[in-house]
Amino acid sequence: MSHIRLFPRLNSFQETIPLPSSKSESNRALIINALAGGDMANLSNLAEARDTQTMIRLLADAGNPVADVLDAGTTMRFLTAFYSITGATKKMTGTARMCERPIGILVDALRTLGASITYENKEGYPPLQLNGFQYAGKRELAIRGDVSSQFISAILMISPLLPEGIALQITGSLGSKPYVEMTLAQMAQFGIKASVDWSKGLIDIPAQKYIAAPFAVESDWSGASYWYSMVALSPFEDSSLELLGLKEDSLQGDAAIRDIMLPLGVKSTYTGKGYLLTKCEAVSELSWDFTDCPDLAQTISVVAAAKNIVLHLTGVESLKVKETDRVLALQNELKKLGSTLAEIKPNELYTVSGSFGHSGSTPEIETYDDHRMAMAFAPVGLLREIVIHEPGVVAKSYPSFWNHVDLLLSSSAN
């Protein structure tokens, strides 16, 4: 299927959406469970996301000298640390885009600990060749926090296995902090004790053993964000959705979508089984810092553009090194809705503003091999006909996305 065409419906919806499981929680659970020597049967509700299925496949294929992670960032970063500490000889590679995503900060940290790693092409980027591990005898490690938190999560998960544990000093600002907290919380569920001083950026983990334990993965709050958009963009006041499996007290930072969407016109009510989303009044201008929840920036930018809400975004620096340069991709595609994403302060402050076009030629949205481009723009189909190119990209995190969209929107695929 090279594109999907979505058509607005003429009435409201009241539906229940069975959300996918979190790929972030799944990929941590898989690494931690493997380090604990646990049985796979201990893990329930693992994500159907390709990133997680790739992790499962690669962990089961220990003897293969090559690990191809495709486009999965967490799989690349977590497995590089996992194979390093387990002394594997392994080539780590992925898609062309994965080979443009930085990994030097993690490689430097692993080398300091004792890993032997070489770059096959460009310094600081995959593919990598891992050639075993000889403990360097140092428990103090400094690591930058401003490029990707996944480097820190990767190091943290292997740290209990280091002969003296680790005293990790995060330097600079820390982006995506809730993902580091998620890592520590999941490690704690497998018996790991850590002391953390966020005011100093210090995480201390003594050497200790993981204790195998059962772990059930929650529904995905990042995937939930697109259903929030559906409610925000529905022109009918009585539209509502119930999202199943979301927890009130989630490990996922993207649960912040509850707070972000309130001023954008969506009220969240916990039902015991998940969340009920209903419509409420929206503001006309909003500022939001996405440092803790970068994966929500596309969702929110599109909602703002489609509702003619002026949105000021900060904390979006990391968007340039994700599945695509998400700032550039948004700039190109928001134009097709009548909006601009203007860089107000270089690399710091961006503003979405414009005038949403209900008529004129059908916007044809390119997706740049990025699942979140496809899912962020799909809800616009509630307001006007729209075409999304390469809709299969959603498989990275949410393979059943279009089946769920069918509950709300008519579509034709080509």
Ligand X SMILES: C=C(OP(=O)(O)O)C(=O)O
Catalytic residues: 295
For 182, the enclosing helix (H) or strand (E) is helix 177-189
Angle between helices 23-35 and 149-158 (to 10 degrees): 30
The verdict on whether residue 148 carries a ligand-binding annotation is yes
Helix and strand tally (H, E) in the chain? Answer: 12, 22
Site for ligand S3P in 137-156 (CB under 6 A): 148-150, 153
Q: How many beta carbons lie within 10 A of that of residue 189, not counting itself?
A: 16
Would you tell me how many other CB atoms lie within 10 Å of the CB of residue 399?
A: 17
331 touches which of ligand X, ligand S3P, none (CB within 5 to 8 A by kind)? none
Structure tokens at 179: 């993902």
Residue positions counted in the chain: 414
Q: Nearest residue by C-beta to ligand X?
A: 73
Window contacting ligand S3P (CB under 6 A); options: 129-137, 172-180, 280-288, 351-359: 172-180
With CA atoms as reference, report the closest residue to 369 among 99, 66, 126.
Answer: 99
Q: CA–CA separation, 377 vs 365, rounded Å?
A: 8
In the complex, minimum distance from the CB of residue 388 to ligand S3P, in angstroms, rounded to a whole number: 20
24 is in an annotated binding site: yes
The answer to whether 124 touches 172, Cβ cutoff 8 Å, is no
Indicate whether 24 belongs to the interface with ligand S3P (CB under 6 A).
yes
| Residue 324 binds ligand S3P (CB under 6 A) | no
Q: Which is nearer to ligand S3P, 177 or 336 (CB)?
A: 177
**Is 176 flagged in the annotation as binding?**
yes
Among ligand S3P, ligand X, none, residue 72 binds (CB under 5-8 Å by kind): ligand X
Task: Name the minimum Å distance from CB 236 to ligand X.
Answer: 30
Return phi, psi of residue 5, to 5°: -110, 125
Nearer to ligand S3P, 148 or 225 (CB): 148
Rounded least distance, CB 170 to ligand X, Å: 18
Q: Check residue 225 for interaction with ligand S3P (CB under 6 A).
A: no
For 233, which DSSP code?
Answer: H
Q: Give the Cα separation of 331 and 349 in Å (integer).
A: 14
Q: Which residues are annotated as a binding site?
A: 23-24, 28, 73, 101, 148-150, 176, 295, 322, 326, 372, 396
User: Where do contacts with ligand S3P occur on this chain (CB under 6 A)?
Assistant: 24, 74, 148-150, 153, 175-176, 179, 294-295, 318
Q: Which residues are annotated as a binding site for phosphoenolpyruvate?
A: 23, 73, 101, 150, 326, 372, 396
